Amino acid sequence: MVTRKLIAASLLMCALAALIGCVQYPTERQSVVDLRPQISFRFDPADARMNEARVLVNGLDSGRLGDFLDGQGSLRVLSGTHAVRVVSGSDVLLDERAYLGDGVARPFIVK
């Protein structure tokens, strides 16, 4: 008789533990999506002159060309029309205007 009560109590405890273990509190995950357009460049990364060339967007120096190699890095800009220029010393390697909308990733080819 005591054994049956002990078994019944054990089963009840196991059932309660299983029910409590199945309860999962709701979670909320928040993240920010950056849809600004991205500019990157395709060029020969072995050429030291190319790596050190400067990127100018709308006349403002934005950094080294080597920092924005397509597939490795990109430059985020605001939506709109932009004048993109790449210079190495007094040589102009690229001079283009392009409209870039939200979510666009645009690679420029520099020769």
Q: How many angstroms separate the CA atoms of 74 and 104, rounded?
A: 12
pLDDT for the residue numbered 19: 64
Domains observed in the chain: 38-109 (2.60.40)
For residue 66, report the phi and psi dihedrals to the nearest 5 degrees: -60, -20
Q: How many angstroms separate the CA atoms of 103 and 90, rounded?
A: 33
Prediction pTM value = 0.69
Q: What is the DSSP letter of 28?
A: -
pLDDT per residue rounded down to tens, the chain (111 residues): 668 888 888 887 877 676 666 566 777 888 888 899 999 999 998 888 898 999 999 999 999 999 999 999 999 999 999 999 999 999 999 999 999 999 999 999 998
* CA atoms lying within 13 Å on the CB side of residue 101: 0
DSSP-assigned letters across all residues of 40-65: EEE--TT-HHHHHPEEEETTEEEEEG
